[in-house]
Each structure stands twice: as structure tokens, then as C-alpha cells.
Amino acid sequence: MTGEPPGSVSFAPAGNAGRHGSGRRRERPVPRSILLHAGLVTASMLAVLPVVWVFLTSLKPRSATLSDRLELFHDPSFAAYGEVLTGNDGLFLRWFLNSTVIALLTTVIGVFLAATGGYAFSRYRFPGYRPLLGSFLVTQMFPGIILIVPLFNILTNLRLVNTHLGLVVVYCTIAVPFCTMMLKGYFDTIPIELEEAGRVDGLTPFGSFWRIVIPLSVPGIAVTAFYSFLTAWNEFLLANILMTGDTSKTLPVGINGYVDQFRQNWDLLTAAAVLIMIPALGFFYWAQRYLVTGLTAGGTKH
């Protein structure tokens, strides 16, 4: 017995009905859906077309790359890749090693400095806080080209010109301010109560930073690591001035010699460009994996 009079009709609460009704997916009109998908397909094609064109050009013989005829395929082969990897006494592999070492050092040092600096700006207030924070913003307002002369003079006095360490220092000056501001904003979203709970359990300030804040900040750290890596991996202007020896060049500077006023080896240049893309794509794949799994995870979820 429910206690209700015979013949009575019970209704579901209005809140439940509204909740179920709001959960239904509204169908998009067909014309609007067609326009949306057409725009997405067009944008995707515009983004992918240059990469596909570079790859197809790398498969053509040298004579076809200099032709004025528009051809997607012309006797495709991987001969240019073999010439890039084995030609010039293996200089490409040397440039690849230089870029890898410099990019990884820039990433590790840059992320460490940015994480510690961003945490200090997020959690502490100290004398000179605002001027120092403003200086990080000001450094982003100047184009890199105006820093060439002072950076070259500083590295010359320190005897770091044409060295990996000198180029790592230069790249860190570019990456660290931006990464610090980015991680400061991310650290601000993590509740400080989590660190206070860790202090109660006996963690030191650095222990709470390392054991609590860093694991919760993996998405932000992945973004800053990716930015630092690309800053060092793709940069051309500073490396072209600071690295003068053939064996000390980075990849962007080294492959620039494939095309000049005396020779136009577009097949070698495009093949080298495709090879350069592979580590960047691999690093992005690693970074986006953490982004996808962690962007929706807030500090209180843990």
C-alpha cells in the first residue's frame, strides 16, 4: 500500500523531466551541418597541403623539382633521403645530433626554471614581486632580432660562441619568460589547501611542490616542454649567427646550404625537411597524450 487514494495519478518531478529533456541532443539543420563540415574539411586541407607538397617534392628527381610543370608524382623514389643521410660526410647526422642535444637541454633547463619560477610567483609575495613579474612580460614585447648584438657580445665575453651551451642559454632566455607566465597561471588554479595538507603530513615546501603540485600540473608542463622544444628545434636566425663551424650547425642552419645562389637542390631540402618533422611530431604526440588525459582534471579531483 502506498497510501495514495484510488484513482490518483502520480507525476514525475518537474526537475527530472527538465533534466532528461535538456540532455537530449538538438539536431543541427542540414544546411548548417553541410557548411560546418565543408569549412572543417577546407581548413584541414589548407593545413595539410604544404606538408603533403613537401613530401611529394622530396620523392621527385632533381630535374622534376626545377621544372615549371605542375606534377604531383614524377618517378617517385627515396633517393634524396639516402643522399641526405649519407652525403657530405654524414654532416646531416651531425646536425641532427646537435639539434637534438640543444633542444633537449633547452627543454629540461627551461621547464625546470619556468616551473620553479612560476611556483614562486604563484605562492609567494616578496620584495620586487610586481617589477620582476612585469619584466617577464616586457621581454615578450621585443622581437628576437634586436637581441642578436647584445647576446653575441655576452657570449663572446663568456667564450660561448659556437658552443652548444651558449645556444642553450640563448634559447632559454627566449623560452623561460613565456613558460614561467604560463605555469604561474596554471599553478594559480591548484588549491593551496592540498599543499597545506601535505605540510601537515610532514612535507617540506619543496616536497609539497615536487610531490603535489608537479603531478597535478602535467598538462601545463607538457605545453611548456613542447614550446621549449620547438623554440630550440626550429630556430634559425640566432643559430646561424652563433654557430659558425660546419660540424656545430643545427638542422635549420645546415639544410639552408642545400639551396643557394649557386645550386638549387630542392629534392635534398624537402627530404631533409621531412626528416626534421619526425622528432617534432613525435614530441607533439607525447605532449598531446598528457594534454588529452589531464586537461579536464582539476586539482580537487586528486
What is the rounded distance in angstroms from the CA atom of residue 193 to the CA atom of residue 207?
15
Q: What are the tens digits of pLDDT across the range 13-62?
A: 444 444 444 445 567 788 888 898 999 999 999 989 988 988 988 888 87
Q: Are 87 and 149 in contact (CB under 8 A)?
A: no
H-assigned helices in 124-147: 129-138
* 113: nearest Cα among 105, 102, 125, 101: 105
The three cell numbers of residue 252 are 635549420
Domains of the chain from N-terminus onward: 31-77 (no CATH), 89-301 (1.10.3720.10)
Full pLDDT tens readout for the chain, 302 residues: 444 444 444 444 444 444 444 445 567 788 888 898 999 999 999 989 988 988 988 888 877 777 777 777 777 888 889 888 887 777 899 999 999 999 999 999 999 999 999 999 998 888 888 888 888 888 777 777 888 888 889 999 999 988 999 999 999 988 999 899 889 988 988 898 988 888 888 888 888 899 889 988 888 898 889 889 998 999 998 999 888 888 888 999 988 888 877 778 888 889 999 999 998 888 888 877 776 654 444 444 44
What is the rounded distance in angstroms from the CA atom of residue 102 to the CA atom of residue 95?
11
- pLDDT at residue 143, as a whole number: 78
